[in-house]
């Protein structure tokens, strides 16, 4: 008998005892519905190929057991091809770990605090590349000894030479902002009481900022990366899981002098609401909220603030299962670095059974225009607005009221119902939306 069936999953993500106002999870581990360790292992052939179709439907019915969440997420995010074997995946895994170690060493050579177990929360360089003396460096704090080793790190930074390379300057300018966000991320969790876990999060975000020069680092990325650190023991594996997630979301973080990337999704949200609830859309426009900026945070960090930590993970895995595309791995592989030469086994073209329910609906509609490419997260926000439509129409007399009504949903949303509502709205939208020629 599955001993922890029916219990909340909060116990897997322990909250610090003094944090008494943290929302409780609604997600319960349910035998027969939640993807269990046994069902997960049984979904693989003797060689290691995964029956992804069965797995996706199980995830949507009841989420993933926390003990296997990390390894299942690697498939959902396209780290591995379900048709690959155990040996092929191990080859890819080792190759990626080597690549991450190289990037991290490159970063360490430029700024030795990286990989030291410490991180910074104050600027270390000016915009013209001049080192800033005596930066505040958070050292590795040992609670048992109560000591803080600030001296060596400060001396090391004082010895920094002026930096001429613009790319290096830009990267180093982001490092303290990453540190400031790291110490604010999921601070209610016992996991982040350990300095080594905070520094691991800082290291991954710093390495990512170095390799993705278009995006670098933006506020909110720490919220997306944090679960990967918690679910995957190996830092390199956590990095690649985060990197795959960023491939889906990096457009939200890409900024220019005149716009923020997420504005595209906000515009899509406005179009969807106009089609499925024109009265609400007109009301929001009258209030001056036609740009839908009040939904900025939901889309930027995928509802991390609206759900408990555990429920946000449950929501994410349901979303990824619904929009899963078996071609994901091969699409990503084409743009991977040369070091990643390990081949997943080539299989038959994708069938609808291997796709998530949301992706199947897109294929069925035959839509190849932008509507088909909208992420399910936009419809999730639309379903929240639809659910609160009558309240927004009768009580919202200004944008502050809109924000207040939406803030009231924090901790009160049901992840499964939200996904079900998103699917219904998606289907309705595909039928009613004007077709592009």
Specify whether the CB–CB gap between 324 and 79 falls below 8 A.
no
Give domain status of residue 97, yes or no.
Answer: yes
Are 180 and 302 members of one domain? Answer: no
Give domain status of residue 338, yes or no.
Answer: yes
Specify whether the CB–CB gap between 114 and 208 falls below 8 A.
no
**Tokens representing residue 72 in the block:** 């299942």
Give domain status of residue 294, yes or no.
Answer: yes
Give domain status of residue 84, yes or no.
Answer: no
Nearest alpha carbon to residue 304 among 56, 23, 76: 23
Nearest alpha carbon to residue 110 among 40, 195, 175: 175
**Angle, alpha carbons 375-379-380 (nearest 5°):** 105
Are 425 and 363 members of one domain? Answer: yes
pLDDT at 412: 82
Give domain status of residue 61, yes or no.
Answer: no
Alpha carbon distance 282, 263 (integer Å): 19
pTM: 0.88
Give domain status of residue 147, yes or no.
Answer: yes
Last residue of a domain, which of 225, 240, 275?
A: 225
Q: For residue 176, how many C-alpha atoms fall within 13 Å in the half-sphere facing its CB?
A: 12
pLDDT at 371: 47
Alpha carbon distance 295, 284 (integer Å): 12
Are 198 and 269 members of one domain? Answer: no
Are 379 and 300 members of one domain? Answer: yes
Nearest alpha carbon to residue 328 among 8, 37, 158, 83: 83
Please name the residues in contact with 22: beta carbons below 8 A apart, sequence gap of 6 or more.
15, 188, 308, 309
**Tokens representing residue 104 in the block:** 């991290």
Q: Please state the separation of Cα 41 from the chain's center in Å.
A: 25
Alpha carbon distance 33, 268 (integer Å): 33
Domain that holds residue 347: 263-432
**Tokens representing residue 421 in the block:** 């509502």
pLDDT at 305: 86
Are 292 and 143 members of one domain? Answer: no
Please name the residues in contact with 65: beta carbons below 8 A apart, sequence gap of 6 or more.
29, 34, 35, 36, 37, 40
Q: What is the pLDDT along the chain (437 residues), one digit of tens a residue?
A: 345 555 667 788 999 999 888 888 888 888 889 999 999 999 999 999 999 998 999 999 999 999 999 999 999 999 999 999 999 999 999 999 999 999 999 999 999 999 999 999 999 999 999 998 754 544 433 333 333 343 344 444 446 789 999 999 999 999 999 999 999 999 999 999 999 999 999 999 999 999 998 899 999 999 999 999 999 999 999 999 999 999 999 888 887 666 667 888 999 999 999 999 999 999 999 999 999 999 999 999 999 988 889 999 999 999 999 999 988 777 776 566 433 333 333 444 556 778 999 998 888 876 544 444 789 999 999 999 999 999 999 999 999 999 999 988 887 888 899 999 999 999 999 888 766 54
Q: How far apart are the first and last CA of the chain?
A: 56
pLDDT at 136: 53
Give domain status of residue 209, yes or no.
Answer: yes
Are 283 and 414 members of one domain? Answer: yes
Are 95 and 170 members of one domain? Answer: yes
Please name the residues in contact with 156: beta carbons below 8 A apart, sequence gap of 6 or more.
112, 113
Are 300 and 397 members of one domain? Answer: yes
What is the radius of gyration, based on Cα positions, of the chain?
Answer: 23
Nearest alpha carbon to residue 406 among 295, 257, 299, 304: 295
Alpha carbon distance 73, 421 (integer Å): 23
Are 137 and 198 members of one domain? Answer: yes
Total number of domains constituting the chain:
2
Last residue of a domain, which of 202, 225, 248?
A: 225
Are 211 and 271 members of one domain? Answer: no
Give domain status of residue 166, yes or no.
Answer: yes
Are 215 and 277 members of one domain? Answer: no
Nearest alpha carbon to residue 320 among 302, 337, 334: 302
Last residue of a domain, which of 173, 195, 225?
A: 225
**Tokens representing residue 253 in the block:** 């973080």
Q: What is the CATH classification number for the domain harbouring 426?
A: 1.10.472
Three-state SS across the chain?
A: CCCCCCCEHHHHCCECCCCCCCCCCCCECCCCCCECHHHHHHCECCCCCECHHHHHHHHHHHCECHHHHHHHHHHHCCCCCCCCCHHHHHHHHHHHHHHHHHHHHHHHHHCCCCCCCCEECCCCECCCCCECCCCCEECCEECCCCEECCHHHHHHHHCCCCCCCHHHHHHHHHHHHHHHHHCCCCCCEHHHHCHHHHHHHHHHHHHHHHHCCCCCCCCCHHHHHHHHHHHCCCHHHHHHHHHHHHHHHHHHHCECCCCECCHHHHHHHHHHHHHHCHHHHHHHHHCCCCCCHHHHHHHHCCCCCCCCHHHHHHHHHHHHHHCCCCCHHHHHHHCCCCCCCCCCCCCCCCCHHHCCHHHHHHHHHCCCCHHHHCCHHHHHHHHHHHHCHHHHHHHCCCHHHHHHHHHCCCCCCCHHHHHHHHHHHHHHHHHHCCCCC
Cα–Cα distances in Å, from 242 out to 61, 218, 223, 235?
25, 14, 11, 11
Are 194 and 270 members of one domain? Answer: no
């Amino acid at each position: 008998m599955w001993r922890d069936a029916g219990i909340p999953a909060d116990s897997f993500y322990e909250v610090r005892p003094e944090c008494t106002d943290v929302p409780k999870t609604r997600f319960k581990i349910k035998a027969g519905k939640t993807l269990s360790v046994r069902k997960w292992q049984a979904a693989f052939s003797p060689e290691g190929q995964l029956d992804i179709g069965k797995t996706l439907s199980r995830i949507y019915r009841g989420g993933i057991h926390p003990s296997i969440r990390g390894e299942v997420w690697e498939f959902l995010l396209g780290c591995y091809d379900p048709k690959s074997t155990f040996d092929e995946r191990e080859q890819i895994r080792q190759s990626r770990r080597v690549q991450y170690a190289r990037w991290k060493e490159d970063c360490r050579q430029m700024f030795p605090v990286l990989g030291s177990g410490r991180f910074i929360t104050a600027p270390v360089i000016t915009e013209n590349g001049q080192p800033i003396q005596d930066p505040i460096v958070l050292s590795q704090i040992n609670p048992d000894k109560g000591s803080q080793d600030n001296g060596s790190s400060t001396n090391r930074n004082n010895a920094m030479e002026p930096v001429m390379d613009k790319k290096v300057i830009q990267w180093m300018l982001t490092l303290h902002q990453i540190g400031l966000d790291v110490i604010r991320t999921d601070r209610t969790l016992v996991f982040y009481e350990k300095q080594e876990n905070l520094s691991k999060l800082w290291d991954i975000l710093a390495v990512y900022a170095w390799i993705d020069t278009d995006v670098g680092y933006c506020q909110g990325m720490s919220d997306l990366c944090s679960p990967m650190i918690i679910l995957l023991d190996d830092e390199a594996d956590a990095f690649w899981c985060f990197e795959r997630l960023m491939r889906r979301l990096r457009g939200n973080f890409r900024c220019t002098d005149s716009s923020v990337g997420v504005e595209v999704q906000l515009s899509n949200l406005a179009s969807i609401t106009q089609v499925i609830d024109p009265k609400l859309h007109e009301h929001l426009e009258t209030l001056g909220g036609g740009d839908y900026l009040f939904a900025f945070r939901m889309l930027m960090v995928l509802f991390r603030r609206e759900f408990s930590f555990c429920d946000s993970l449950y929501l994410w895995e349901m979303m990824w299962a619904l929009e899963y595309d078996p071609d994901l791995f091969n699409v990503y592989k084409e743009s991977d670095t040369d070091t990643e030469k390990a081949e997943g086994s080539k299989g038959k073209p994708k069938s609808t059974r291997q796709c998530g329910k949301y992706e199947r609906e897109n294929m069925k509609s035959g839509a190849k225009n932008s509507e088909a490419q909208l992420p399910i997260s936009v419809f999730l926000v639309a379903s929240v607005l639809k659910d609160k439509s009558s309240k927004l129409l009768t009580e919202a007399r200004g944008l502050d009221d809109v924000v207040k009504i939406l803030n009231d949903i924090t901790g009160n949303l049901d992840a499964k119902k939200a996904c079900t509502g998103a699917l219904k709205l998606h289907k309705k939208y595909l039928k009613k939306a004007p077709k592009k020629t």
